[in-house]
Amino acid sequence: MTQVRARAVLHPDAGPEAARQAARILAELGFDVVQEDAGGVAFAGDAERFEQVFGTPAAASVPVPAELSGVAASIVIPRRPELFP
């Protein structure tokens, strides 16, 4: 199985509980929460599950699902740096 790592970036005006709420929602959706901080929640999971939840393969632009829209402004997929193009 291919694993996807992503980060839910919280709304700038999100309250102090937003990261905890987003982490709980992501766990309920079947993802492993890797890290949470005031700016967002890093999470990982199976690529197939990612596509089911977010409605798209892991790519540069991923829509925020309704469950997270109250706390997350965006979903980003970190890319490996290209050191020697």
Mean pLDDT for the stretch of residues 72-76:
81
How wide is the angle at C-alpha 19 spanned by C-alphas 80 and 24, nearest 5°? 95
Query: What distance lies between CA 50 and its chain's CA centroid?
Result: 9
Assign 26 a pLDDT band (cuts: 50, 70, 90).
very high
Assign 41 a pLDDT band (cuts: 50, 70, 90).
very high
What's the whole-model pTM score? Answer: 0.76
pLDDT at 5 over 90: no
Are residues 75 and 6 in contact, defined by beta-carbon separation less than 8 angstroms? yes
Q: Which two tokens stand for residue 82?
A: 């290209």
Write down the pLDDT at residue 82. 66
Q: Which CATH class is domain 3-76?
A: alpha beta
Assign 62 a pLDDT band (cuts: 50, 70, 90).
confident
